[in-house]
Amino acid sequence: MATVVVTGCNRGIGYQLCKQLLARGDEVIGVCRGDAEDLQKLGARIVSGIDVSDGASVASLKEAISDQPIDVLINNAGILRSDSLGELNYDDMVEQFQVNTLGPLRVTESLLENLSKGSKVAIVTSRVGSIEDNSSGGYYGYRASKTAVNQVGTNLKHDLRPKGIAVALLHPGLVATEMTGGQGISPEKSAQGLIQRIDDLNLSNTGGFWHAEGYVLPW
Ligand SMILES: NC(=O)c1ccc[n+]([C@@H]2O[C@H](COP(=O)([O-])OP(=O)(O)OC[C@H]3O[C@@H](n4cnc5c(N)ncnc54)[C@H](OP(=O)(O)O)[C@@H]3O)[C@@H](O)[C@H]2O)c1
């Protein structure tokens, strides 16, 4: 049984991750801004009122978790704001950077003492952040925030490897959640793949950028 922390636990991919991890007997600490009564009923411990883009809020997450050891930290919370050249909203771009790039870094840094040899950190990024894979443009803010979090994850790989902690950058696929307006594969299927990738993560493959289906994505 592993202790797993999941941000953005109340809906979408994060909710499914928590549900499946609980079903296999893991101890789940779900982190969200609002509440997650469903998950609580299923046995998760919920830390609510946590905005991953806010330093004081993330500090209270650390306070709530205290010195409890964490086996797996899944940085899943994220936002997408549509945009197009000529009508870019720079506040939206900063907001996406705050949540998608700095959020995973803030949370990971604040919980560093809870991670130890054998722990794993997963960041739910997106292939949309891949420069090589960008064949269509658009989504300036979202793409850039995910490209930047890939760099953050690569830095974490270097800094955490000596401590015995492995890091994964994971693309969930195109998933039918609020973010995509219900387009894509089911969150259940995506979460299954993501959990498999995290199970397969170790120090010999740390720092990889994988599709939930298991293949490596280009940077
Ligand atoms: N769906 C896809 O096709 C797809 C593809 C590639 C990557 N992704 C990535 O997968 C992750 C999960 O996305 P999803 O599809 O499950 O989206 P979703 O259904 O919109 O859920 C997003 C989750 O993130 C939380 N969140 C947003 N801003 C937050 C903040 N500032 N602080 C704390 N929590 C916050 C939301 O909480 P609230 O309910 O409080 O807003 C919600 O729990 C994201 O990182 C996304 O970029 C998704």
Write down the pLDDT at residue 120.
99
Does 24 fall in a domain?
A: yes
Q: pLDDT tens across 149-169, in order?
A: 999 999 999 999 999 999 999
Q: How many whole angstroms from 162 Cα to the centroid of ligand 1?
A: 30
Query: Closest by alpha carbon to 39, among 51, 27, 30, 48?
Result: 30
Closest ligand 1 atom number to CA of residue 175: 3
Write down the pLDDT at residue 177.
98
Instruction: Domain count for the chain, please give it.
Output: 1
Cα separation, 13 vs 74, in Å, equals 11
The total of other beta-carbon atoms located within 10 Å of residue 100's CB is 30
Residue nearest to atom 47 of ligand 1 (CA): 78
Q: How many whole angstroms from 128 Cα to the centroid of ligand 1?
A: 14
Write down the pLDDT at residue 126.
98
Residue nearest to atom 7 of ligand 1 (CA): 126
Predicted model pTM: 0.99
Cα separation, 197 vs 118, in Å, equals 15
CATH of the domain at 62: 3.40.50.720
| Residues framing ligand 1 (Cβ under 6 A) | 7-8, 10-14, 32-34, 51-53, 76-79, 99, 124, 126, 171-172, 174-175, 177-180, 184
Write down the pLDDT at residue 27.
98
Residue nearest to atom 2 of ligand 1 (CA): 175
Q: pLDDT tens across 184-209, in order?
A: 999 999 999 999 999 999 999 999 99
Write down the pLDDT at residue 70.
98
Q: 74 pairs with which residues across the strands?
A: 6, 122
- Predicted confidence band at 8 (pLDDT cuts at 50, 70, 90)? very high
Q: pLDDT tens across 25-69, in order?
A: 999 999 999 999 999 999 999 999 999 999 999 999 999 999 999
Write down the pLDDT at residue 111.
98
Query: Closest by alpha carbon to 104, among 45, 162, 145?
Result: 145
Does 216 fall in a domain?
A: no
Does 218 fall in a domain?
A: no
Q: pLDDT tens across 125-153, in order?
A: 999 999 999 999 999 999 999 999 999 99
Write down the pLDDT at residue 59.
98
Query: Closest by alpha carbon to 49, among 60, 40, 38?
Result: 60
Does 111 fall in a domain?
A: yes
Q: 169 pairs with which residues across the strands?
A: 123, 209
Q: Say which residues have a Cβ less than 8 Å from residue 23's Cβ, sequence separation at least 6.
A: none
Write down the pLDDT at residue 187.
98
Q: How many whole angstroms from 13 Cα to the centroid of ligand 1?
A: 7
Which residue segment(s) compose the domain that 118 sits in?
Answer: 3-211
Contact 43, 210 (CB under 8 A): no
Write down the pLDDT at residue 69.
98
The total of other beta-carbon atoms located within 10 Å of residue 155's CB is 13
